[in-house]
Structure 1
Amino acid sequence: MVYLLDRSHSRACRIRDWCLMCELEQHVAMLQEGVGSLSPSKILLNMRSVGCRMGGGNQEDAHEFLRLLVMSLQAVCLEDMGGEKKVDLGLQETTLVQQIFGGRLKSKVKCLRCHHESERLRK
């Protein structure tokens, strides 16, 4: 949280267009200021730039959005370090995103019609 409040990323960001991490910093700053209720509208408007192709607001859409959001934040962190291909795998585990979301993501989706449950573990 301190990283986001200090705007550590945006001060050094080299992305000319919209940047997910810069946007997240702005969102957290507004939350800290207590301006009332907030919507992540700019993030939602730019979902395609984080690789998110979603449909009609289904449960799996929310799960997919979170997964892609975390992956995109990790990519931004790695880009700040020289890019994924240049950063050692061990060092990749030390990013802000890995510290917060690291480990495995267990996703469980249940069909509302047939009640079948699907479980997946992803790193």
Structure 2
Amino acid sequence: MGVAGGGGGGGGDDLEEGLSKTHDRENTMQACIDKIGKLLFEANIRIGYVTDNGDIPNAKLKIKEITGTFKQFNQPLLNELDGKKIEMGHHLLARFKDRIFDENSMILNVEELATLYHAPSSVVQTPNIDWVKSRKLEAP
């Protein structure tokens, strides 16, 4: 049995590990409470890519690239967005058009949904800003 500071056996690591696991459980529990305390939505995220020339390997690569951009929203030990399978065929377009969803949906709260909808981007346009042109000079 490990006791912090108890006789040279290095048992303090066991206590620290136990406290760390308890702390992780508390964080997980708090995250769950925070999530269900907000308005919840049942959601599916579907990504489509249509190619004219039938380049299937490139289409699969593009889907994986787009799916990879959602990894920025993952939180270790709490939430992650996980890609399912890549499907192909004309029936997919019909399912998109008719809004037929998979039976495997996820629950997102209003904050998570807003974060996904307003995804950060390096090319965000700001059309109503008046930019001032100035020249750069050396510091005095």
Normalising by structure 1, report the TM-score: 0.23
Q: Using structure 2 for the length normalisation, give the TM-score.
A: 0.21
Instruction: Compare the two structures and name the one with the higher strand fraction.
Output: 1
Give the structure with the larger helix fraction: 1
